[in-house]
A = this chain, B = another copy of it.
Amino acid sequence: MELIRIPRIMQDTSRGHLLHGRGIGFVPTMGALHEGHLSLVRRAKEENDITMVSIFVNPLQFGPSEDFNKYPKDTDGDADKLRKAEIDVLFMPDASSLYPAGFSTHVEIEKLSEKLCGAFRPGHFRGVATIVTKLFNIVAPTRAYFGQKDYQQAVIIKKMVKDLDMGIDIVVCPTIREHDGLAMSSRNAYLNEEERKAATVINKCLVQTTELIKSGIIDIGSIRRFMKEKLSEKPLVTEIQYASVYDPETLDELERVEKEALLAVALKIGGTRLIDNMLVKV
């Protein structure tokens, strides 16, 4: 595994591979790698000649009151995991090399960026779209891999790639879960023992709401009420930001579930913000 820190060297390395006709599979991450990330890495390795992973905690996608400064870091552990996964290149740039003084260009995807998480994290998806554009330009991947857990992010990246003709295949891989159903997330590390137990309510809510819908309860009022009641069973759930059923493409809330739908939840347990989602077909 080659470790590269300088964007220009990363770009030259990638272009060298492309010149030899090698397809590049790319997994962009913010580090603190878990089994979810590693599932993307394995998929990338299966489908490409060369596999590259980036680790960069992107300041641009964090709001001023968010957890940028305490975001989990485990650089040595991450490098070990990636070495064992036999990736070819680990790209770990410094913030100063990606955002030098005077940086002032942004990529914005309207509408999709304002919904769901976007309503609670203004500027978040602009920050995501901008760093992903930069990383795509530097790494020049053939295919890039994202987890379904960050469903809205995946939809936005796909839209951006299409709108800006980036010519990169965006592959969305299934959410990987702990044994009790909690979606894997680097932010789970913030939870204490009690909070960790309470967090299982999210997956339980999604599973039970799926059953409810499949049993024929398909109107938004009943679904919202059920999800809210279920999540509110845990006193440690201090804030429900959204919990409802959405169009999987436009992310608009549905009036009735009539074909495929996205069940999605964002809430806070103590000070930790968690999200999860599930696709349901009627």
Contacts and interface: CB of A to CB of B under 8 A. Distances in A.
Tell me how many chains of this kind the complex includes.
2
Contact of A105 (B15, B137, B163): B163
A49 to B, nearest CB: 13
Nearest to A250: B102
Q: Which of A18, A106, A130 has the most CB of B within 10 A?
A: A106
A19 B16 CA distance: 10
Interface residues of A, number: 30
Given A19-B21, A21-B19, A137 B104 contact: no
A165 B134 contact: yes
B109 A159 contact: no
Interface in A107-150: 107-112, 129-130, 133-134, 137-138
Contacts of A198: none
A134 B166 CA distance: 8
Contact of A160 (B15, B105, B159): B105
Contacts of A103: 163
28 contacts: A7-B165, A11-B167, A15-B167, A18-B18, A19-B19, A103-B163, A104-B109, A104-B110, A104-B112, A104-B163, A105-B107, A105-B108, A105-B109, A105-B110, A105-B129, A105-B159, A105-B163, A106-B107, A106-B108, A106-B110, A107-B164, A108-B108, A130-B164, A133-B164, A134-B163, A137-B164, A138-B165, A138-B167
Contact of A166 (B104, B109, B137, B167): B137
Contacts of A19: 18-19, 21
Contacts of A21: 19
A115 to B, nearest CB: 12
A54 to B, nearest CB: 12
Interface string A69-86: 000000000000000000
A105 to B, nearest CB: 4
Contact of A104 (B15, B130, B133, B159): B159
Given A110-B104, A112-B104, A11 B165 contact: yes
A209 to B, nearest CB: 29
Contacts of A163: 103-105, 134
A126 to B, nearest CB: 9
Contacts of A164: 105, 107, 130, 133-134, 137
A282 B167 CA distance: 47
